[in-house]
Amino acid sequence: MVVVLAAGATAAAPGVGGHHGQRLDGGADDATSSHNTLPNQGPSLRSVCYYIIMLPVNPKFYEYDNIQKKVSDFTPAKIKYIEESTLLKTVEKINLAALLLGYKHITDVAIGLENEEQIIEELQKLNLTFAKNYYYHEETKYEWIQVAINKPVLDYVIERREALTVLEAGVLYGYPISASLAYDGMLEKRWFDKSIAEYYLSGVFSKPYTENERAHFEKIWGHIIKVSPRLVAEALGEYKEYRQSNATSEDEE
């Protein structure tokens, strides 16, 4: 939380809640300084802006050069290459497009023994930042390709793979915060038949913020429609098959 006070404002001295404030002009935050104390008025703020940081209490900052911070950018050529891929699944194509358009910070691509080299070659041609990731379940190792917008984000995910929280993962995958809170058990979940956008892009929905979350995914889908009608047509065909298969299963029950 950041509290900013405009020049000339009056407020309690810095250090509220046990945290020391810091002037935006880089000056000292001593409440008794003559610079920020009016005569006979005790501690106050005068002619400067202050901010009070509430969280995180122990921040860690990363040092990367600007070249490493550069994100994987969108180009029509990259979308065309994704469209024409015969190795990538439709859902992977959709999520790679969302990442290139700036709606996701990470996404996943499945690999198998028979196609790993070809998948890696395709991702290299797209000039994407990626690395193999994995987890163990009952002594079985599951692997996939972790794609990220840049090296710092990829390093963060790989280095914290055992400690990454649900909320962190939700933010990185581009899910709304409220949906991530619901997935983590802090908000009620809501279930319903998903639209095509939600089928490919969403996860869990929260009960109190469903409409905001649905609007978020429809916005992304609208952008993908503009840049790749071909990809959307592919997705629509697959989505119709899914709906028909579900309807048939329900009729049989």
- pLDDT over 60 (residue 114): yes
Task: Give the position of tokens 């009952």.
Answer: 138
| Token pair recorded at residue 58 | 């122990």
- pLDDT over 60 (residue 240): yes
Distances (CA, A) of 187 to 166, 167, 181, 198: 13, 12, 6, 19
126-132 mean pLDDT: 96
- Select the more confidently predicted residue: 104 or 56: 104
* Prediction pTM value: 0.78
Q: Which of 53, 67, 68, 58 is nearest to 21 (CA)?
A: 53
- Select the more confidently predicted residue: 48 or 150: 150
Summarize pLDDT for 58-111 with one digit per residue, the tens: 888 889 999 999 999 899 999 999 999 999 999 999 999 999 999 999 999 999
Q: Percent of the chain scored above 90 by pLDDT?
A: 68
Summarize pLDDT for 6-49 with one digit per residue, the tens: 554 444 444 444 444 554 445 544 444 444 444 455 555 555 66
- pLDDT over 80 (residue 155): yes
| Token pair recorded at residue 149 | 């917008």
Q: Give 55's pLDDT tier (boundaries 50, 70, 90).
A: confident
| Token pair recorded at residue 248 | 């048939």
In this predicted structure, what is the pLDDT of residue 18? 45
